[in-house]
A and B are shown apart, each in its own frame.
Chain A
Amino acid sequence: MLSSIRLRCSASYGLRSYHLTNMRAFDELRKLEIFFMEETRRGCSVIELYELVQHAGNILPRLYLLCTAGSVYIKTKEAPAKEILKDLVEMCRGIQHPLRGLFLRSYLAQIGRDKLPDVGSEYEGDADTVTDAVEFVLLNFTEMNKLWVRMQHQGPARDKERREKERGELRDLVGKNLHVLSQLEGVDLDMYRDTVLPRVLEQIVNCRDEIAQYYLIDCIIQVFPDEYHLQTLDVLLGACPQLQPSVDIMTVLSRLMERLSNYAALNAEVLPYFLQVEAFSKLNNAIGKVIEAQEDMPILSAVTLYSSLLKFTLHVHPDRLDYADQVLGSCVKQLSGKGKINDTRATKEIVSLLSAPLEKYNDVVTALKLTNYPLVVEYLDNETKRIMATVIIRSIMKNNTLITTAEKVEALLELIKGLINDLDEPEGLEAVDDDDFEEEQNSVARLVHMLYNDDTEEMFKIISILKKHFLTGGPKRLKFTIPPLVVSTLKLIRRLPVEGDNPFGKEASVTATKIFQFLNQIIEALPNVPSPDLAFRLYLQCAEAANKCVEEPIAYEFFTQAYILYEEEISDSKAQVTALQLIIGTLQRMHVFGVENRDTLTHKATGYSAKLLKKPDQCRAVYACSHLFWLEDHETIQDGERVLLCLKRALKIANSAQQMASNGQEGSAGSVTLFIEILNKYLYFYEKGIPQITVESVESLIQLIKNEESMPSDPYAESLFASTLQFMEFQKQKGGAIGDRYEEIKV
Chain B
Amino acid sequence: MVLVLALGDLHVPHRAADLPPKFKSMLVPGKIQHIICTGNLCIKEIHDYLKTICPDLHIVRGEFDEDARYPENKTLTIGQFKLGLCHGHQVIPWGDLDSLAMLQRQLGVDILVTGHTHQFTAYKHEGGVVINPGSATGAYSSINQDVNPSFVLMDIDGFRAVVYVYELIDGEVKVDKIEFKKPPTSNSAP
Contact = CB atoms under 8 A, between A and B. Distances in A.
Contacts of B127: 723, 726-727, 730
Nearest to A490: B140
A582 B190 contact: no
B176 interface: no
Nearest to B14: A483
Interface stretch (A70-78, A208-216, A584-592, A659-667): A584-592
Interface in A372-400: 397, 400
B121 to A, nearest CB: 17
Nearest to B88: A585
Given A442-B43, A627-B92, A727-B105, A545 B14 contact: no
Interface residues of B, number: 33
A494 interface: yes
A730 B125 CA distance: 9
Contacts of B13: 442-443, 445-446, 448-449, 480, 484
B142 interface: yes
A672 to B, nearest CB: 13
A127 B177 CA distance: 88
A330 interface: no
Interface string B149-190: 000000000000000000000000000000000000000011
Contact of B126 (A449, A483, A490, A730): A730
Interface in A542-564: 544-545
Interface stretch (B26-34, B50-58, B94-102): B94-102
Contact of B92 (A447, A449, A490, A581): A581
Contacts of B63: 537, 578, 581-582
A684 interface: yes
Interface string A586-607: 0011000000000000000000
A321 interface: no
B143 interface: yes
Given A397-B17, A446-B17, A730-B126, A582 B89 contact: yes
A19 interface: no
A627 B15 contact: no
A726 B140 CA distance: 38
Interface of chain A: mostly helix, strand, loop or mixed: helix
B187 to A, nearest CB: 9
A724 B105 contact: yes
A34 interface: no
Nearest to A723: B105
Contact of A491 (B94, B101, B102, B140): B140
Given A545-B142, A581-B90, A442 B45 contact: yes
Given A582-B89, A723-B127, A494 B16 contact: no
A720 B125 CA distance: 17
A275 interface: no
B148 to A, nearest CB: 15
Interface string A711-743: 000000001101110110010000000000000
A487 B15 contact: yes
A450 interface: yes
A537 B93 contact: no
B92 A726 contact: no
Contacts of A722: 189
Contact of A484 (B14, B102, B108): B14
A585 B142 CA distance: 12
Interface in B9-31: 12-18, 21
A680 interface: yes
A308 interface: no
A545 B93 CA distance: 18
A446 B45 CA distance: 12
Interface residues of A, number: 44
Nearest to A623: B92
Contacts of A576: none
B89 A723 contact: no
A677 interface: yes
A439 B17 CA distance: 13
A397 B190 CA distance: 47
B145 interface: yes
Contacts of A439: 45
Interface string A679-707: 01100100100000000000000000000
A544 B117 CA distance: 13
A585 B105 contact: no
B64 interface: yes
Nearest to A716: B108
A724 B94 CA distance: 21
A130 interface: no
Interface in B93-146: 93-94, 98-99, 101-102, 105-106, 108, 125-127, 140, 142-143, 145
Interface string A560-574: 000000000000000
Interface in A63-108: none
A588 B94 CA distance: 9
Interface in B78-92: 89-90, 92
A307 interface: no
A720 B106 contact: yes
Most B C-beta atoms less than 10 A away, residue of A446, A484, A722, A723: A723
B17 A726 contact: no
A439 B12 CA distance: 12
Most B C-beta atoms less than 10 A away, residue of A494, A544, A719, A727: A727
Given A445-B14, A545-B142, A537 B105 contact: no
Contacts of B99: 684
Interface string A480-500: 100110010011001000000
Contact of A585 (B17, B92, B101, B108): B92
B94 A397 contact: no
A727 B142 CA distance: 32
A719 B16 CA distance: 41
Contacts of B92: 581, 584-585, 588, 624, 627
A331 B89 CA distance: 56
Interface string A416-445: 000000000000000000000001001101
Contacts of A261: none
Contacts of B18: 397, 446
A578 B91 CA distance: 11
Given A727-B101, A727-B127, 4 more contacts: A490-B142, A582-B89, A680-B105, A681-B102
Interface of B: 12-18, 21, 43, 45, 63-64, 89-90, 92-94, 98-99, 101-102, 105-106, 108, 125-127, 140, 142-143, 145, 189-190
A-B CB proximity, top 4 nearest: A544-B142, A445-B13, A730-B126, A483-B14
8 contacts: A439-B45, A484-B13, A490-B140, A677-B102, A680-B105, A684-B99, A723-B108, A727-B127
